[in-house]
Amino acid sequence: MGGALLSTPWREMSGAKTGDLKFMRDYKPQNSECQHLRILLYGPVGAGKSSFINSVNSVLKGSMTGRCADDAIGGESFTKTFKTYRFPKGSPKAFYSFVFNDIMGIESNADLGICVEDIKLAMMGHVKDGYEFKNGTALAKGSQSYNASPTLNDKVHVLVCVIPADKLALMADEFIGKMREVRLAARDLGIPQLAIVTKVDEACPNVRENIKNVHKSKSLKQKVEEVNAKLGLSVNRIFLVKNYQSDVSVNDDVDALILSTLRQMISYGEDYLDNL
């Protein structure tokens, strides 16, 4: 096992969980046209998009009590409905000022995935909540679910590519090509882009044993470099994450990783909104 871990982590975590939580609670977009920051997660089925949304919910709620299937807000793996996920703050009608959408596009099998055009439309705010994506057919302009005049609230402010660490090597070129197409569209719209590499526990036994090893794991560092090479996204925009799934209780280190990643998403999105 010697050599599988670096002696010092390649990325330092602030570890200031209470500070991050306060930041989330207080956060409001500076841009007065905008009530909430919209984060779009995209990636293959089973990548952990819903789990990430549920993990954020769990961390914000501060406990896993009562966390079960019906408490999950992130939906099922094969959901193709466009839905906005909000996080309740505890008091009636109070929500955090960031929201998520997830899209299960980008299957290398063209029959399975949502077409790239739909992802572009979603980024531009043209897709109404509740729309069910159709295989291979983009949302038509005249359709009921087409929002012809999106406001800043409807538009996406950060694009996050979700990649499972254990499946990275299996990602086909076709898949990478589709991702690149989405990335180019986001770039043209000026939308900042990040990536999260999920299932770090599945990919590295040292991390499964102790999540504190996440930034010491040589194999995970390599995964980040691989994502960097494949997607052309700089390393400081790629984040390692372990989602909550069957875990019975929250763990401070898992929380810290999720919170710091979420904070990065908000910071990049806020930068974008600020500079419009």
Ligand X SMILES: Nc1nc2c(ncn2[C@@H]2O[C@H](COP(=O)(O)OP(=O)(O)O)[C@@H](O)[C@H]2O)c(=O)[nH]1
Residues that bind Mg ion (CB under 5 A): 49-50, 77
Site string for ligand X, 224-263 (x = CB under 6 A): ------------------xx-x------------------
Nearer to Mg ion, 76 or 174 (CB): 76
Which of Mg ion, ligand X, none has residue 243 at its interface (CB below 5 to 8 Å by kind)?
A: ligand X
Nearer to Mg ion, 16 or 72 (CB): 72
Q: What is the DSSP letter of 191?
A: -
Give the integer Cα–Cα distance in Å for 255 and 259: 6
Considering the complex, what minimum distance in angstroms separates the CB of residue 50 from Mg ion?
3
Q: Looking only at residues 85 through 104 of this chain, which bind ligand X when binding is defined by CB under 6 A?
A: 104
Beta-ladder partners of 42: 103, 161
Burial status of residue 83 (CB atoms within 10 A of its CB: 0-12, 13-18, 19 or more): middle
Which of ligand X, Mg ion, none has residue 105 at its interface (CB below 5 to 8 Å by kind)?
A: none
Which of Mg ion, ligand X, none has residue 247 at its interface (CB below 5 to 8 Å by kind)?
A: none
Q: Does 168 bind ligand X (CB under 6 A)?
A: no
Beta-ladder partners of 135: 114
Considering the complex, what minimum distance in angstroms separates the CB of residue 172 from ligand X?
17
166 phi and psi, to 5 degrees? Answer: -80, -10
CB distance 67 to 248 below 8 Å: no
* CA angle in degrees (0–180, nearest 5) for 163-168-172: 105
Nearer to Mg ion, 85 or 272 (CB): 85
Give the integer Cα–Cα distance in Å for 48 and 91: 29
Question: For ligand X, which stretch binds (CB under 6 A), given 40-48, 64-72, 110-118, 124-132?
Answer: 40-48
Residue among 33, 54, 53, 56 at smallest CA distance from 41? 53
Q: Which residues bind ligand X (CB under 6 A)?
A: 45-51, 77, 104, 198-199, 201-202, 242-243, 245
